[in-house]
Amino acid sequence: MKDVVIIGGGAAGLTAAIVAARKNKKVTILEKNEKCGKKILLTGNGRCNYWNEDMSISHYHSSNEEHIKEIINEENTKKVLSFFESLGIIPKIKNGYFYPVTEQGLTIYNTLLYEAKKLNVEIINNIDVIEIIKNDSFIINQNKGKNIKAKKIILCPGSKAAPKTGSNGSGYVLASTLNHHIIEPKPALVQLIGEEDYFNKWNGIRIDAKLSLYEDGKYIKEETGQLQLTDYGISGIVTFNLSRYVARNISKHEEIISINFLPWLKENPHKWLKKMSQLNSKINETLEKFLNYKLINIILKKSGIKKNDWQKLSDKEFSTLVNTITNFKLKITGTKSFENAQVCSGGVPLSEINLNTMESYKTKDLYLAGEILDIDGDCGGYNLGFAWISGIIAGENV
C-alpha cells in the first residue's frame, strides 16, 4: 500500500510530489511517457516562461469564474515564489515574464527531477493508468494483473492539449469514474481559422495589431500585441488569448475578429492619414511607411479602391480605407485542433473541488491539480503558474 500516488508527472505532478515528500510522505508518480515533464521543455519555445509578475485573476478563465479568486490569490502566489527559491531557481524577469536565468526549460525540468530524486520520490514511467477503483483505498489498474494500491491519489494527468506530450484526455475518463462531471474540453491558446482567398498573400506577415472579438456583434474582449498572419487565418499571442472564447462559442455564435493595424496611433486615424497622404501623391507609397507591403493590396482590394492616387479618392473611399486599416473584419470559422493547442478550456468544474486543499468534494482522499481542472490562463506563464499553485496546495494537504 502506497501513501500517495500521483497520476501524471507534469508540472503539477512533480510539484505536488516534491511538496508532499518534504512532509515525509512516501510518494509514487505514475507517468505514461518514458520521462516526466515533457511539456515543461516546450514552454516558452524552450525557454520556460514559468511565472508572471502580474498574477491578476483577470488572466484566468473558467466556467466557474467566481471560484478563481479562491486559488489565484496573494497567499498562494507567495508559496510559488518560495517554492522556486527553495529549489535554487534564479529568475530572469523580462516585461514581467519569469524565465530561469539560463533561459532554458531544461533548468526547471532537471531541477524538479533532481529534487524529487533527492526526496526519494518513486517514479514509474511508461505506465498507462486506465482504471481507478475506490473502496477503503484506491486500486489502480486492478484488472491488468499488476495493480497498485494507494491511500490517497493526486490526479494531474493533463488535458487533451498537445497530445504528443502524452495528454490524450484519459484523465477526464478517470475523473468521471470517480464521480466528477466534465465540462467539455475545447482547444485554448490556439490559432484561429478563416476562409478568405487572400490568406496565401498575407502568409508570413508579423505585425503589431489590436484584435477585438465580437460574437453576434457583441464586443467580448480585445488584445494588443504581435499578430501573425497565416495561410489559414491568424496566429500569435493576441490570437491565442482570444481563442478560448471562439472555441467554446463558435457552434452557437458568429465570431468576428476586428483588426486595427495601427494600434500605436494615438490621434484620430482619419486626420492622421490625411496628413500622411500629403507626403506622397501615390497611395501605396504612403501606406508602405507603416504597413507591410504584402498587406497593402489586400487592404485596397477589401476597400474597393483600384486607384493609386490620393487626389482621385472620393471622401467616401478615403473613409472606407481608414476603416479597413483600423477595423479590418475577419470572419472566424474555427480553431486549430488540440494538436496545436497549448492548453484546454473545460475539464473538472472548480465547484467540485475544495480549492483550499485541492481535495475532491465527490471522492474522499482524491486530489486534483493542473490542466485537468476547468481553468485556463492567458499566454505569459499563467498556465504553468496554475500548475505550480495547484500542485503545491495538493502536496501540502494530501
Under DSSP, the state recorded for 324 is H
User: Mean pLDDT over residues 203-226, rounded?
Assistant: 97
Question: Which pLDDT does position 45 carry in this prediction?
Answer: 82
Question: Cα–Cα distances in Å, from 216 out to 219, 251, 253?
Answer: 9, 12, 6
Question: Which pLDDT does position 44 carry in this prediction?
Answer: 80
d(CA 132, CA 214): 43
For the entire predicted model, the pTM comes to 0.94
Burial 57-74 (b: 16+ CB within 10 A, else e): eebbbbbbeebbeebbee
d(CA 374, CA 390): 12
Name the residue with cell 503589431.
208
3-state secondary structure of 58: helix
Residues contacting residue 79 through CB under 8 Å, at least 6 positions apart: 389, 392, 393
Give the DSSP H/E element, type plus range, for residue 206: strand 206-215
Domain locations in the chain? Answer: 2-186+344-397, 192-335
Burial 235-266 (b: 16+ CB within 10 A, else e): bbbbbbbbbbbbbbbbeebebbbbbbbbbeee
d(CA 228, CA 237): 9
Class of domain 2-186+344-397: alpha beta
Strands 334-335, 138-140: pairing is unpaired
pLDDT digits 0-9 by tens, 60-95: 999 999 999 999 999 999 999 999 999 999 999 999
Amino acid symbol at 351: S
CA quadruple 99, 162, 215, 249: dihedral sign:
negative
Question: Cα–Cα distances in Å, from 50 out to 105, 231, 268?
Answer: 9, 31, 39
Window from 41-50, 115-124, 184-193 with minimum mean pLDDT: 41-50
Question: Which pLDDT does position 145 carry in this prediction?
Answer: 66
Q: What is the mean pLDDT of the chain?
A: 96
Under DSSP, the state recorded for 169 is S
pLDDT digits 0-9 by tens, 146-169: 789 999 999 999 999 988 888 889
* 8 Å CB contact between 370 and 175: no
pLDDT digits 0-9 by tens, 318-330: 999 999 999 999 9
pLDDT digits 0-9 by tens, 256-277: 999 999 999 999 999 999 999 9
Residues contacting residue 148 through CB under 8 Å, at least 6 positions apart: 2, 5, 28, 30, 139, 140, 141
The percentage of the chain sitting over the pLDDT mark of 70, rounded to a whole number, equals 100
Does pLDDT of 144 surpass 90? no
User: Mean pLDDT over residues 24-42, rounded?
Assistant: 93
Question: Which pLDDT does position 74 carry in this prediction?
Answer: 96
* 8 Å CB contact between 102 and 50: no
